């Protein structure tokens, strides 16, 4: 049983999260129900901290845990051998992530790297 920490942030990807609270709500609800027997929709008084604790404690055997595992894997052999369904999950996540706006710091770093590459090509 694999346990996920820091709300499914994987160490090899710094602060990159592999789930979205809104778009993955059904997976979150199903996972909390499966692991803890708690139906979130029937817990309107649950505090945010308690919810975060439950979410952080979800393991890889839950629906959300499986999807996060599929989205975050970088093992080329494993990706090659994924089922069609898992490949679709991964591709949809990557497409969504590529449409997110880039922050100015990352943009400037990318532009500097591009500038250096162009200088190297010119010399």
Say how far apart CA 13 and CA 30 lie, in whole Å: 26
Say how far apart CA 92 and CA 1 lie, in whole Å: 26
pLDDT tens digits for range 1-44? 444 444 444 444 444 689 999 999 999 999 999 999 999 999 99
pLDDT at residue 112, rounded to an integer: 86
Q: Which residue has the tokens 């979150």?
A: 28
- Token pair, residue 2, equals 């694999």
DSSP 42-108: G-TT--HHHHHHHHHT-BTTSHHHHHHHHHH---HHHHHT--HHHHHHHHHHHHHHHTSPPPHHHHH
Enter the pTM of the model.
Answer: 0.68
Neighbours of 5 (CB within 10 A): 10
The residues, any chain, with a CB within 8 Å of residue 94's CB and separated by 6 or more, are none
pLDDT at residue 102, rounded to an integer: 72
pLDDT tens digits for range 64-113? 999 999 999 999 999 999 999 999 999 999 988 887 777 788 778 878 88
């Amino acid at each position: 049983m694999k346990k996920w920490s820091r709300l499914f942030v994987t160490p090899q990807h710094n602060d990159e999260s592999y789930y979205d609270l809104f778009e993955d709500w059904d997976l979150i609800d199903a996972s909390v129900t499966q692991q803890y027997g708690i139906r979130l929709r029937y817990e309107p008084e649950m505090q945010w901290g308690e919810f975060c604790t439950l979410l952080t404690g979800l393991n890889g055997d839950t629906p959300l845990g499986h999807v996060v595992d599929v989205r975050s894997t970088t093992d080329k052999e494993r990706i090659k051998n994924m089922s069609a369904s898992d490949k679709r999950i991964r591709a949809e996540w990557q497409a969504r992530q590529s449409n997110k706006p880039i922050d100015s710091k990352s943009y400037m770093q990318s532009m500097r790297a591009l500038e250096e590459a162009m200088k190297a090509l010119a010399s």
